Amino acid sequence: MFRLDNKVAIVTGAAGGIGLACTELLAASGAKVALVDCQADHLAEATKNVQEKGIAKGYQLDVTDIPAIAPTVSRIRQELGEVDILVCSAGTNIPKLAQEVTEADWDTILSINTKGLFFCNQAVAIQSMIPRKTGAIVNIASMFSLVGGPKRAPYCASKGGVAQLTRAEAIDWAPYNIRVNAVAPTFILTNLTRGYLSDPEFKAYVLDNTPLHCLATVGDVAAATCFLASDEAKMITGVILPVDAGWTAR
């Protein structure tokens, strides 16, 4: 396990799925973790669970509320300390064929997955990482930031945006010793995917297109995320790391 003692980490989308797994592993690795999520009830429960593994505190925030992001980051800095690690995991999808996508669908997906993520990156960089000339940002992208997929036009666009933002930020913030990377997971059983992965035909499609013929777990993604956030990855920046059991190798 990579040690992150005395580090302060923020995780968005922290109340469930990949975000929660990341908070648990970060806390178990010694980091003080700020769990950020828009769902108050789930956030309180998640925070309580993470506190059994280490130091953690919950902060309610909707990442689409851009003016609220900077004050939340400021509060976290005051209560937990300067931010060493940011993991942006908040995300959503509305599976539809491209011809069925509405403007509202597009705006919902892009506002969370791409716009909210960027302004979280920016707020943490400006307030805490650039002045101290240190930090690690890990954005949760998707294998669909690298390849296309059915019924995912806005999602692919949003996650492709995450990949390109990650690369661009890695260049802009390298002079400040800030590393920016992304993890690109395959299909993982979470509340976001549970509905269509319960369909035997769709699950067979996924497994048939995965060379290792298995689904990744939230723990697999958390392990890759914590590695990229750790000092062991000090020479890695601007990388989109697939955690996809070989899907994008085909």
Q: Write out pLDDT tens, residues 61-111.
A: 999 999 999 999 999 999 999 999 999 999 999 999 999 999 999 999 999
Q: Which residues are known catalytic residues?
A: 155
* pLDDT score of 1: 64
Residue 195 has pLDDT above 80, yes or no: no
Confidence of residue 8 (pLDDT cuts 50, 70, 90): very high
Distances (CA, A) of 47 to 91, 94, 126: 19, 27, 26
Residue 207 has pLDDT above 70, yes or no: yes
Among 144-153, 190-199, 209-218, name the one with the lowest average pLDDT.
190-199
% pLDDT > 70, the chain: 99
* pLDDT score of 220: 96
Residue 204 has pLDDT above 70, yes or no: yes
* pLDDT score of 194: 76
Among 154-158, 206-210, 219-223, name the one with the lowest average pLDDT.
206-210
| Structural domains for the chain | 8-249 (3.40.50.720)
Residue 190 has pLDDT above 90, yes or no: no
Residue 35 has pLDDT above 80, yes or no: yes
